[in-house]
Amino acid sequence: MKDYYYFLGISHDASEEDIKKSYRKLSLKYHPDKNDNDDFFADRFREIQEAYETLNNRDKRKTYDQNLENYQKSFRYNIPPSIKTFTANKIHAKKGEEIIINWQTQNADVVKVLPFGLEKAYGERIFKITEFKEGRFQILLHATNSLLHKTVVQGITITEVFENDGEKFRDKAEDLFKSQPRTASNPSGQPRIFRIITAVVLLLLAIYFLIKSFS
């Protein structure tokens, strides 16, 4: 059973205002029109709409809460969750190549496959990798027994395959000039090439002043 509270990122005792506020924020973030109609964002947007339509209606929310409680109680709370299988049809792939993953869990009432989101206790997903991070794409399966407050995690790492050395060099070169996420150490999100150049210049200056001090 889908956890609509998780979809909206709110607690189970959230107020109507909290529900509306979260929906407005997430619908703007995941709207397909703002994300080149990407399938991942389209799926998340549909989940958010589905959750909002249920939780924003008092009668629907009351019925949903009762069903969710009964669903969670149907699990054997004294048995921890487990992952029976979690496989991919390939662990080496090129950008845009189709990947198929399969999973099966036990004694878990909340199952997530990241970066995709909530899923059923067992299933299959077909997707294409459009972006690797440092030559890797990681998929994580989280199986949780919420009554027991226990979670097990298993991962699959897909490594990038290039057509030839030229493509690999071009991909790495593009990564050097690509803007990076803003962090405390890189507040402006400068590309890696600028940070490398800065480090080299500082090193050369340090060597220069070191030599000068001994001359």
State the CATH number of the domain containing residue 141. 2.60.40
Mode of pairing for the β-strands spanning 92-93 and 110-114:
unpaired
User: What is the predicted pLDDT for the residue at 198?
Assistant: 79
**What does the block give as tokens for 184?**
């405390």
Are 29 and 89 contacting, i.e. CB atoms less than 8 angstroms apart?
A: no
Are 43 and 117 contacting, i.e. CB atoms less than 8 angstroms apart?
A: yes
| Final residue of a structural domain among 144, 160, 176 | 160
Q: Are residues 140 and 174 in the same domain?
A: no
For the chain, list the strands marked E by DSSP: 82-88, 92-93, 98-106, 110-114, 117-119, 122-128, 136-145, 150-160
Buried b / exposed e over 62-98, threshold 16 CB at 10 Å, is eebeeebeeebeebebeebbebeebebeeeebebeee
User: What is the predicted pLDDT for the residue at 168?
Assistant: 53
Strand partners, 160: 93
Q: Are residues 144 and 177 in the same domain?
A: no
User: What is the predicted pLDDT for the residue at 77?
Assistant: 58
Which helix (H) or strand (E) covers residue 176, if one does?
helix 165-177
User: What is the predicted pLDDT for the residue at 179?
Assistant: 66
Q: Are residues 96 and 147 in the same domain?
A: yes
| Final residue of a structural domain among 33, 56, 73 | 73
User: What is the predicted pLDDT for the residue at 60?
Assistant: 94
- Long-range contacts, 86-90 (Cβ 8 Å, 24+): 86/141, 86/154, 86/156, 87/156, 88/139, 88/156, 88/158, 90/158
Give backbone dihedrals phi and psi of 169, rounded to 5 degrees, phi first: -65, -45
Q: Are residues 123 and 193 in the same domain?
A: no
User: What is the predicted pLDDT for the residue at 148?
Assistant: 80
Structural domain of 179: 165-214
Give backbone dihedrals phi and psi of 144, rounded to 5 degrees, phi first: -125, 135
- pLDDT tens profile 153-191: 999 999 998 765 555 555 555 666 666 666 666 666 677
Which regions of the chain are under pLDDT 50?
A: none
Q: Are residues 198 and 135 in the same domain?
A: no
Mode of pairing for the β-strands spanning 136-145 and 110-114:
antiparallel
Task: Look up the CATH number of the domain holding residue 30.
Answer: 1.10.287.110
Task: Give the count of domains, the chain.
Answer: 3
